[in-house]
């Protein structure tokens, strides 16, 4: 039984990890860390887990938790983990970080896009980027996994096979992304009140959103050269789900080559479902670790349009963290993650 500690257990992503681990046959949560809720029951913050999780919320002490846990999920604000992580801690426990602190190979990129000073740059080289479908082998041996962002997972998985196959021009990529509101977190902000979000759609972080360089770094690994993207996130009045609509100019080929590229890369992937020319829809992945990807070649414009959906709290956060944990501990990758999406 893997002993898991969660730090940041009362945010939506941390609590989703708790929900998923509750049903995981090979893991057990031993501590629900929370700065704010300390002492109260976890279930007092998440009534869905009433009677199911009896544990209290505990202080967020990474070093102490490292003594007991086999792995720690940090679902914490940017900058937290880098400020407390040490070599010693990593010798005692594994870490899966849901923040951005260890997602970049380049320190300067992190510091300039996040406006933070990284507290432990010497540990960056230990980190593996936790997008399982791309970095499975490295994740298996890692002690520190940087779990990707929600927009990022969806964007990278959408476009990687096309770049890898040389089908699209890396300078023409535009990613128009739409997210449910749980991605904005559980903080008490006027902008996220029901009446502000409901009956509305808006773009935000236009041309400056911090998931941009993460997408660019990973897509540049596909071998088609350095990728620079326009990335525009939007807030949608729904709880969960991310839809990415991505555009790129085709350099060659069409429908058939596109399909072949996806099938080659993802044909054997449990959690990726290829939809052909159909649009992905967030309702069909809700609550699950699946990613749905559809596409359409448009001869009129010479572009391909890719439409991909995932659940931002599962494959975009806690589910992927569990998938990473499974890999790191030698369990079958799907363990505890095969719940089908819930619709309606």
**Residues carrying an active site annotation:** 150
Residue 337 backbone dihedrals phi, psi, to 5 degrees: -125, 15
**Total residues at interface with a second copy (CB under 8 A):** 81
Q: Which two tokens stand for residue 290?
A: 């699946």
In this chain, which stretch among 44-52, 105-113, 123-131, 316-324 interacts with a second copy, using CB under 8 A? 44-52
* Residue 281 lies near a second copy (rule: CB under 8 A): yes
Token pair 């300039």: residue: 112
Q: Which is nearer to a second copy, 94 or 303 (CB)?
A: 303
Q: Identify the three-state secondary structure at position 150.
A: helix
In this chain, which stretch among 65-73, 104-112, 278-286, 328-336 interacts with a second copy, using CB under 8 A? 278-286
Give which of 119, 110, 125, 108 is closest to 62, Cα–Cα: 119
Site for a second copy in 8-27 (CB under 8 A): 12, 15, 19, 22-23
Taking the complex as a whole, the smallest distance from the CB of residue 282 to a second copy amounts, in Å, to 5
CB 315 within 8 A of CB 289: yes
Say how many C-beta atoms besides its own lie within 10 A of residue 189's C-beta: 10
Site for a second copy in 294-323 (CB under 8 A): 296-298, 300-301, 303, 305, 307
In this chain, which stretch among 70-78, 157-165, 259-267, 333-341 interacts with a second copy, using CB under 8 A? 333-341
| CA–CA distances in Å: residue 203 to residues 10, 32, 191, 196, 235 | 27, 34, 13, 14, 6
Say how many C-beta atoms besides its own lie within 10 A of residue 234's C-beta: 15
d(CA 120, CA 78): 13
Q: Which two tokens stand for residue 198?
A: 């409901």
Spacing of C-alpha 253 from chain mean position: 31
Site for a second copy in 223-262 (CB under 8 A): 228-230, 232, 234, 236-241, 243, 245, 247
CB 272 within 8 A of CB 192: no
Interface residue with a second copy among 58, 158, 282, 324 (CB under 8 A) is: 282
Q: Which is nearer to a second copy, 41 or 90 (CB)?
A: 41
Taking the complex as a whole, the smallest distance from the CB of residue 275 to a second copy amounts, in Å, to 8
DSSP string, 229-258: -EEEEEE-SSSS-EEEEEEEEBSS--HHHH
Q: Which is nearer to a second copy, 50 or 67 (CB)?
A: 50
Binding mask 181-220 for a second copy (x = CB under 8 A): xx---xxxxx-xxxxxxxxxxxxx-xx-------------
Site for a second copy in 94-153 (CB under 8 A): none
Interface residue with a second copy among 35, 92, 136, 283 (CB under 8 A) is: 283
């Amino acid at each position: 039984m893997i002993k898991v500690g969660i730090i940041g257990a009362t945010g939506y992503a941390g609590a989703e990890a708790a929900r998923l681990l509750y049903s995981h046959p090979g893991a057990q949560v031993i501590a629900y860390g929370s700065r704010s809720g300390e002492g109260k029951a976890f279930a007092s913050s998440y009534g869905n887990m009433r009677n199911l999780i009896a544990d209290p919320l505990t202080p967020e002490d990474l070093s102490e938790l490292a003594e007991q846990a086999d792995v720690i999920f940090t679902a914490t604000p940017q900058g937290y983990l880098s400020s407390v992580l040490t070599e010693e801690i990593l010798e005692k426990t594994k870490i899966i970080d849901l923040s951005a602190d260890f997602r970049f190979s380049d320190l300067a990129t992190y510091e300039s896009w996040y406006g933070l000073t990284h507290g432990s740059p010497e540990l960056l080289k230990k980190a593996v980027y936790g997008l399982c479908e791309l970095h499975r082998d490295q994740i298996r041996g890692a002690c520190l996994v940087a779990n990707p962002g929600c927009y990022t997972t969806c964007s990278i998985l959408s476009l990687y096979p096309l770049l890898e196959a040389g089908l699209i021009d890396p300078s023409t990529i535009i990613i128009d992304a739409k997210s449910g509101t749980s991605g904005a977190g559980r903080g008490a902000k006027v902008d996220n009140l029901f009446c502000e979000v409901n009956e509305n759609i808006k773009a935000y972080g236009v041309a400056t959103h911090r998931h941009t360089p993460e997408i660019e770094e990973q897509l540049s690994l596909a071998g088609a050269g350095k990728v620079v993207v326009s990335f525009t996130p939007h807030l949608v009045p729904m709880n969960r789900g991310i839809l990415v609509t991505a555009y790129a100019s085709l350099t060659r080929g069409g429908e058939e080559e596109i399909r072949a590229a996806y099938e080659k890369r993802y044909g054997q992937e449990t959690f990726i479902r290829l939809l052909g020319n159909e649009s992905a829809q967030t309702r069909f992945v809700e609550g699950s670790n699946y990613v749905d990807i559809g596409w359409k070649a448009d001869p009129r414009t010479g572009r391909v349009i890719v439409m991909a959906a995932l659940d931002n709290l599962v494959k975009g956060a806690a589910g992927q963290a569990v998938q990473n944990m499974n890999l790191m501990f030698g369990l079958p990758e799907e363990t505890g993650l095969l719940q089908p999406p819930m619709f309606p």
